[in-house]
Structure 1
Amino acid sequence: MSSWADLTNGKRIKHLRGSGLTQQGLADAAGLSLALVQKAEQDRGELSVGSLLELAHALNTDVSVILGQQAPRRGMDRGDRAALRQLSDAVHESALGEWEGIDDPSTVEELGEARDRAWDSYWASDTARVSSYASKVLMEGQARYASATGSERERLGSILASTYRVAASCSNGLGQRDLALSALTSAKHLAGNVGDPVMTALLESTLSWIHLRGAKLPRAVAVAERAALTVEPSFGNGSRPQLLAYGRLMISAAVAASRREDRSAADDYISQAHAAAARLGRDEKLYGTSFGPTAAKAEAVGIHVALKDYGRALELAGQPEMKKLPKFTSKVARNRYRLDVALAQCAAGLHDQAGDTLIEVGLDAPEWVRHQALPGVIGKRLAKASTSRVRNIGELIGVPLIA
C-alpha cells in the first residue's frame, strides 16, 4: 500500500471509513448528505472546512489525517505523548487532592510566574514546557490552596483556574477532548469560587473551541453567545477586561458560525467583535488571551476565508496595521493568520504570493507547521499552477505538500 501521504483525500476517507461503516452510515454520523460523502471519496470537488470537520469527527480522527499530513494514530511523537501523560496526571491528581509529598509548595508569586510561562509555552507550541509548568502549578497550587484563606486563596484560585484552562487548551489541541473537558471542569469550579465573571467567560470561549473541534458547531456558537451576555459591556461603560472577554467570545461565535457557513451570523458576530476592539483601542493580553483591533482583524481574515469570501480576507490583510502584528502576538497566532492569508492568496490566483507566504510560515515555525492541515490544502491548490514549485516549497519547509 502507498504511504499515507501519497493517497488522495478520497482514498484516505474511504480507508478510515473501512468496511464496517457504509457511506450512508458515515453521512449520518457526520450530518452530511450521502451525495457529499460519495463525491468526497471520489475526489470530486473540494470539501469545505465545515465538512472536513464533520467528517473528521465522525471518523474519530483529525482533519490533518484526512489531508495526509499525519498518518492515522501516529499524530503525536514520543515527546508529546510523554508530556500529555504528565499533564493528564497533574489535571486529575490535583483535582482529586492527591498531592502528597509536596511539603513546601511554591509561593503565590512563583506560581503566578509559572502559570504565565505555561501560557507562553502554549502559544509557542511547546507541549513539553506547557506540561512541565502547568503540572507544577496544579500540584503545588492545589496543595497551597487547600490551607489558604482570604486574598491569598482568591489569588491562588485565579491562578489555578487559568492554569487548568491552559491545560484544557493544550489537550484539545492534541485531540484529547475528554482531558480538556476534565481540566475545564476544575477551572470553572475554581473561577466560580473566586467570583471572577471575566475569567468564567474566557473559560466558556475555551469550551466553545472544544465543541468546534468536536464538530459540534451549534453548541460552539451557543456557548460563546451565552457567555458573552454575562460580560456584555454597557454602552460607553464597559471595563477593559469585559471588552476583551466579550470581543474574544464574539470571535469564538463568528468562527463557529463560519464553519457552519452561516454568513449572516458570522458577519454579525465579527462586527460586534470589531466594535469591542475599537472601544479597547489597542491590543491587550489577559489570562493568556489576546484581543484588540489587530487581533480582531487577523481572526476576521480566517473567518472570511472559511466563508470563501477571499476578497474581503485579502482586503483586511492588506491594511497597513496588519503588516506588523503587535510584539506580543504569539508565534502560533502569527503563523495561523499567515496560513489564512496564503489560502486567500491562492484562491485569488496569487500563486507566487501564496507560495512566499507559506515559506514564511515554514521558516518561522518549522515544528508547528508540520502539525497543521492548511499547508496541505494550500499545496494541493498551488500544484495546479506548478507542481515543481510546490515540491521545492515542501522540501524547504520540511512538509510533504503533494505526492
Structure 2
Amino acid sequence: MVSELAENVRKYRRRAGMSQEELAHAAGVSPGTVRKAEQGGTVRMETLYTLARALGVTTASLMASDAPEPVGRSEEPNRVNLIQLRVALTPAVGLVDPDADVVGEEPNLRIFRRTLQDARVLYFSDSYASVAAQLPGLLRDAAQAVAYYDSGDEHRQALLARAEVLRLAGTYLTQVRQYDIAYTALRDAIADARQAGDLLTAGSGVGGMCWLLVRQGRLDEAEKIAAQSMDAVEPKITGAEPDHYAVWGGLAMEAAAAAARNNRPDEAKEYRKAAKVAATAIGAAHRNISRHWSVFGPVTAAMKALEDSMVIGDARAVVRKAGEQEELSPMAWKRLGKPSANDGNRFTLDVARAHTRTGDLSAAMDELTRARQAAPQWMRHQNMAAETMQEILGKRKRTLTTEMREMAAYLGVVG
C-alpha cells in the first residue's frame, strides 16, 4: 500500500508544477530520495523538513495518519526492560480499588526530595540504568504522599513533589524513545503542578511536552501549546524573577524549534527574539533544575538559535557562528555561565553534523568524540549522532581510520 505520506509528497510536488528531479534540486537531495518518499519508503524527519521547505508547505501537511506497519517478531527491548516503570505510570485498572490507595505511615517529604535529587543527578550524569531502577519506587512513594496529605499546604507540597518525579520520568522516557508512557508522565506532571497552583512549574512541564511532541513530528501541536503557555506565564513587569523569565524563554525556544521544523521560519525568528529578550533580562545562566528543569541564559538561547540553521540545511552558517558568535565562545561560557549538559552536548552534535556537511570530516570526528567523552550513554540514544556517523562513512573516500571504525561500532552504524 502506498502511504499517505507518499501521496502527500506527490500531490504537493505536482501542485507546485515540479518534476521529481526539480524538487530534488530545490530541496538539495538526490532524485532517488524524492522517488523513495513517493514510493512509500522510510524517510527521515530531516528530509521531510527540506522537502516541505522546497514545496512551500508546512512539514505537518506532508505527514498524515496511515495504517501502521506490521511489527517484527521480536519485542522492542525497552518495552520489557522498563516494565516496572510502566506498571508505576500506567497501573492496571479493574473493578476493585487497588491496594496502593490504602494510606499507610506518614511520608517524609524532606527525605523523598533528597532521594529525588539523587535520581536527578544520576540522570544528568548519564546513569540511565540507575534512573530507570529508581523511578518506580519514587513514583509509588509520591502517589502515597499525595494520598496521605489530602488537604492544605502539605497536600500542595506532595503534589509538587510528584510533579517533579513525573517530570523526571517523562524526560528520561522521551530520551530513550518510550513516547507513549513519556506522554503519560508529562501530562500528569503538568496536571499536578496546575492543581498545586504553581504555574511556572506547570509551564516548564509544558516545555518537556513540547520536546516530546517535536520528536514525534507533532509540530503544529508543539508550537501551539508552547505559544499559549508563553501567554499564560509572560512576565508582566520589568524586574520579574529570573525563574519567570527562564520558563517563558524556555517555552519560546520550544515554540521556535517546532516552527523552524515546520517550515515556518518567520514565526521561528519571532520566538527566538522573545527567547533573547528573556535571556538578556536574566543576564547570565540561571539554574533551577530541581523545580523547572531549567538552565537558561544568553548561551543557551544562542545555542538553540543555531539549531535553526541546521534545520534549514545551512551548515556553513552553523560552522561560522559556532566559531565567531560571542555567546558561543569559551570566554562567554565563563562570563555568562555554562548551558545544561544536554544542551551543550546537543550543540556539539549540531557542530559535528555541520562539519560533516561542509566536508571537514576530521573536525566532525573531533566533535563526536567530545560528545561521547561527555555523555556516552546519552549519545547512544541520539539519532543525530548515528546519522552524522553514517554520513561520514559515506563521504570518506579513503580507508576508514581506527577512530571512525570504533565510533561507528559504538553507535551501531554499518557503512
TM-score (norm 1): 0.78
Q: Does 1:340 align with 2:350?
A: yes
For residue 284 of structure 1, what is the amino acid of its counterpart?
A: H
Matched-pair contact (CA < 8 Å) for 1:29–1:58: no
Quick one: distance in 1 between partners of 2:74 and 2:11? 27
Q: Specify the alignment match of 1:280 in structure 2.
A: 282
Q: Specify the alignment match of 1:27 in structure 2.
A: 6
Structure with higher RCO (Cα < 8 A, 6+ apart) = 1
Where 1:130 maps in the other structure, the secondary structure is: helix
Q: Specify the alignment match of 2:48 in structure 1.
A: 51
For residue 27 of structure 1, what is the amino acid of its counterpart?
A: A
Q: Does 1:322 align with 2:328?
A: yes
Q: Does 1:258 align with 2:254?
A: no
Sort the Cα spacing of 1:105 and 1:296 in 2 relative to 1 into closer, same or farther, 3 A: farther
Q: Specify the alignment match of 1:236 in structure 2.
A: 238
Sort the Cα spacing of 1:225 and 1:32 in 2 relative to 1 into closer, same or farther, 3 A: farther
Q: Report the Cα offset of residue 307 of structure 1.
A: 1.9
Structure possessing the higher radius of gyration over alpha carbons: 2
For residue 362 of structure 2, what is the amino acid of its counterpart?
A: D
Quick one: distance in 2 between partners of 1:73 and 1:292? 47
Sort the Cα spacing of 1:400 and 1:108 in 2 relative to 1 into closer, same or farther, 3 A: closer
Sort the Cα spacing of 1:153 and 1:365 in 2 relative to 1 into closer, same or farther, 3 A: same
Q: Specify the alignment match of 2:100 in structure 1.
A: 99
Q: Report the Cα offset of residue 131 of structure 1.
A: 2.9
1:25-174 → structure 2 map (5 Å cutoff): 25-28=4-7, 38-40=35-37, 49=46, 51=48, 77=77, 80-81=78-79, 84-93=82-91, 98-99=99-100, 103-104=104-105, 106-148=107-149, 149-174=151-176
Q: Over residues 338-384 of structure 1, what are the superposed CA-to-partner deviations in whole Å (9 max), with x where a residue is unaligned?
A: 10011122223333211211122233333332332223332343332
Matched-pair contact (CA < 8 Å) for 2:4–2:65: no
Structure 1's unaligned 5+ residue stretches are 1-20, 62-70
Where 1:99 maps in the other structure, the secondary structure is: helix
Sort the Cα spacing of 1:42 and 1:93 in 2 relative to 1 into closer, same or farther, 3 A: closer
Sort the Cα spacing of 1:238 and 1:137 in 2 relative to 1 into closer, same or farther, 3 A: same
1:219 counterpart (203, 218, 221):
221
Matched-pair contact (CA < 8 Å) for 1:394–1:400: no
Number of residue equivalences: 371
Quick one: distance in 2 between partners of 1:33 and 1:166? 41
TM-score (norm 2): 0.76
Quick one: distance in 1 between partners of 2:107 and 2:79? 27
Segment drifting more, 247-256 vs 163-172: 163-172
Matched-pair contact (CA < 8 Å) for 2:352–2:368: yes
Sort the Cα spacing of 1:239 and 1:31 in 2 relative to 1 into closer, same or farther, 3 A: farther
Q: Report the Cα offset of residue 304 of structure 1.
A: 1.9
Q: Over residues 264-320 of structure 1, what are the superposed CA-to-partner deviations in whole Å (9 max), with x where a residue is unaligned?
A: 121221121111111111212222232111111222222221122334423442245
Sort the Cα spacing of 1:380 and 1:147 in 2 relative to 1 into closer, same or farther, 3 A: closer
1:395 counterpart (396, 403, 406):
406
For residue 38 of structure 1, what is the amino acid of its counterpart?
A: R
Matched-pair contact (CA < 8 Å) for 1:198–1:245: yes
Quick one: distance in 1 between partners of 2:79 and 2:124? 19
Q: Report the Cα offset of residue 28 of structure 1.
A: 4.4
Matched-pair contact (CA < 8 Å) for 1:297–1:316: no
Quick one: distance in 2 between partners of 1:282 and 1:74? 49
Q: Specify the alignment match of 1:374 in structure 2.
A: 384
Q: Report the Cα offset of residue 386 of structure 1.
A: 3.7
For residue 384 of structure 2, what is the amino acid of its counterpart?
A: L
Sort the Cα spacing of 1:334 and 1:389 in 2 relative to 1 into closer, same or farther, 3 A: farther
Structure 2's unaligned 5+ residue stretches are 14-19, 21-32, 50-58
Sort the Cα spacing of 1:244 and 1:43 in 2 relative to 1 into closer, same or farther, 3 A: same
Sort the Cα spacing of 1:105 and 1:385 in 2 relative to 1 into closer, same or farther, 3 A: farther
Q: Report the Cα offset of residue 200 of structure 1.
A: 1.4
Q: Report the Cα offset of residue 242 of structure 1.
A: 1.3
